[in-house]
Amino acid sequence: MKNEDGYSLWLRYFRVKDNALIEDYRRDLINIKVMKSSPTMEVAKDELIRGLSCLLGREITTCTGIKKGTIILGVKADIEAQHSINLEPEFTTIVGDGYVIIRTIYEGKDIFIISGLSEIGVLYGTFHFLRLIQTHVPLNPLSIKKSPKIQLRILNHWDNLDGTVERGYAGCSLWDWHRLPGLISPRYKDYARANASIGINGAVLNNVNANSLSLTIEYLEKAKVLADVFRPYGIKVYLSVRFSAPMEIGGLKTSDPKDKKVIFWWKSKVSEIYGIIPDFGGFIVKANSEGQPGPQDYGRSQADGANMLAHALKPYGGVVMWRAFVYDFNIKEDRAKQAFNEFIPLDGMFMDNVLIQVKNGPIDFQPREPFHPLFGAMKETPLMMEFQITQEYLGLATNLVYLGPLFKECLDSDTYAEGKGSSVGRIIDGSLYNNKLTGIAGVANIGTDRNWCGHHFAQGNWYVFGRLAWDHTLGAEEIADEWIRMTFSNCRELLNPVSSMMMTSREAAVNYMTPLGLHHIMAHNHHYGPGPWVDQGRPDWTSTYYHQADPSGIGFDRTVTGSNALSQYSLPIQELYANEDTCPENLLLWFHHVSWDKQMKSGRTLWEELCFKYEAGVEAVRKMRQTWDSIKDKVDEERFTHVQASLGIQEQEAIWWKSACLLYFQSFSRLPFPKGYDLPTHTLDYYKKKRHYFVPGIYNPFIKK
């Protein structure tokens, strides 16, 4: 079995080995007719030739006529005009960059048609067609009609101009800013291919903690090169902007969004950007959060700041993605409530080219959170989702944690905003409130590692984000099945065990890190490893602020007797979660401070259940290791060895989390570990002194003792 380094991602195009299928494919697929030449259509044609030639093990060529087995590749209007084929019935539900893939009879010939309303739609259809063959789907009959449910499907790269990546755990920045625009890495094109294959159509090039230099002519010329590479693949570039840029690079004395000189500066800067990048997508802004400058520095609202930028972008079709991740430790209010309190009064005050970008949960990309209360509460402002693909709080690129179940848990959550069925997914796709502008973003896990994402299985998180961004109704297991088949093999002896590993991995991580609704108990600054004892610095950056363990119990009371953050949710959710006995146990300690001896549904006390969950998390990782070892002969040695070693590290980290957290919490509960429990091999003091100085993904990795 040939070794692979993971660079090809899910676009491996390995030859089909199923004898019956390969015979059908070879008989049915003969050649390709491209209706029109353009950069995007050339990309689609080349991808189809490349993919089919490798998958079928024979040369596939283009043709000018149509015969049996021809694949017609073209936009709807061109196919109808040149061949008098009525495709209207196939396109009745297609919108935007949607596509159709059909098998039909034309002038007595059995042919295939891959078509879209746009050329990008044709490209998306091409990748879907290849995916069918990669995953061994029979092509008879064939009638596929797909449209994206969400318009803007964006990767947010938290990449800095110095080549580092904040919270990125797969090496340095993919963008070689120093050598751009002169040196154009072939990885840029391969990155675009991968994104187009799963329907991603936007990339924010720089960190939300932005550097104003990204808006200078020098760096705009660098961004232009990336935009030019991405354009045939349907990917627009966006930039994070620093709100104080007019002062820092514009020479102004203020960045007040109501100041005429500031308004003029932004209009001039936007005009300059579009002169360089005509299809520039727009801005993302982190303002008045974690020390970043913003409109509130001048007594203005978040809407004032967003609308000032939106007004400048509006003539060019650009958008503003204004982040709702705002909190202030000077405000003596539960951090989970602050974004809601700040943005709800502004509902309906934003321009129509503004999206409020909301994290999936109210704290910060935790292993498990309830959905953010802004979803369903802002009814006159379009909200876009922000997921984190990079595993900032989930073991970095060391741990195998498939995020499909996490994404789906949030997207499928019912907000009850307009009664039963008001899911988060329906809010961000615009269908619940008839929003014309829709979007979803994922913080990228991509870097300079040869396999792109650090961990081979982390590629699956990039993949599942793209597929759900296109259609959030797809299932996490369904997408995992696709990814495994395309990335590893269609072999059933591999498919089933690997799928089981992926589908149980997120719950395993929650159990060995933050079970029962615990959250934000990681080490300070780099977030690598446990730190439930962290209590120094601003309160909302400590762990003790969130778990509030004491001799009487553990958990954050967010009911009416506590911070009352629960009141920000719809009444049916309030009623369910307000009572300890009806609150889902996987979020119990998120909403309640619970006594150590409370009896859980299992019959165990809370303390015993906490021990059980941590132990179960460790055991789940051990089972994953055993499963992976059992399929050694089904995976190439290079990737097998890499994953095997990573799982070994993950098991040790799971034990570390379990031991450190339970020893610390035991110092409050004063209760013994249950019988049969694997006791920690070190003392609590040992774990408190454990240090990691150079963890990837942070500006200053040195942590003082």
Catalytic residue numbers read: 290, 364, 392
Locate 72 and state its tokens: 């017609």
The phi, psi pair for 55, rounded to 5°, reads -65, -35
The phi, psi pair for 584, rounded to 5°, reads -55, 130
**Residue 509 near residue 617, CB atoms below 8 Å:** yes
Locate 515 and state its tokens: 């079970």
- The DSSP annotation for 325-357 comes to ----TTS-S-HHHHHHHHHGGGTT-S-TTEEEE
Q: Is 517 exposed, middle or buried (0-12, 13-18, 19+ CB in 10 A)?
A: buried
Provide the H-helix boundaries in 107-251. 119-134, 186-197, 217-230, 245-248
Instruction: Please give the Cα distance from 539 to 338 (Å, whole number).
Output: 14
Instruction: Please give the Cα distance from 488 to 6 (Å, whole number).
Output: 10
CA 307 centroid distance within chain = 27
Helices 637-669, 492-513: crossing angle, 10 deg rounding: 30
Q: Which amino acid is at 661?
A: C
Long-range CB pairs of 673-682, under 8 A, 24+ apart, other chains included: 673/611, 674/604, 674/608, 674/611, 674/612, 677/611, 677/615, 678/615, 678/618
Q: How many CB atoms lie within 10 A of CB 703?
A: 15
Residue 144: strand pairing partners = 101
**Residue 176 near residue 530, CB atoms below 8 Å:** no
Dihedral of the alpha carbons of 129, 131, 137, 142, in degrees to the nearest 10: -20
- Cis amide prior to 295 (ω within 30 degrees): no
Q: Is 279 exposed, middle or buried (0-12, 13-18, 19+ CB in 10 A)?
A: middle
Q: HEC profile for 126-159?
A: HHHHHHHHHCCCCCCCCEEEECCCCCEEEEECCE
Buried b / exposed e over 290-314, threshold 16 CB at 10 Å, is eebbbbbbbebbbbbbbbbbbbbbb
Of 550, 533, 561, 412, residue with least CA distance to 472: 412
Q: Is the dihedral of CA 386, 392, 393, 398 positive or negative?
A: positive
Of 578, 206, 573, residue with least CA distance to 414: 573
Pairing type for strands 236-241 and 282-285 reads: parallel
What letter would DSSP give residue 377?
Answer: T
Give whole-number Cα distances, 57 to 51, 198, 396, 663, in Å. 10, 24, 39, 58
Instruction: Please give the Cα distance from 529 to 246 (Å, whole number).
Output: 40
Instruction: Please give the Cα distance from 355 to 149 (Å, whole number).
Output: 16
What letter would DSSP give residue 417?
Answer: B
Return the half-sphere exposure (C-beta side, CA atoms, 13 A cut-off) of residue 672: 4
- Only one residue has tokens 């994206």, namely 148
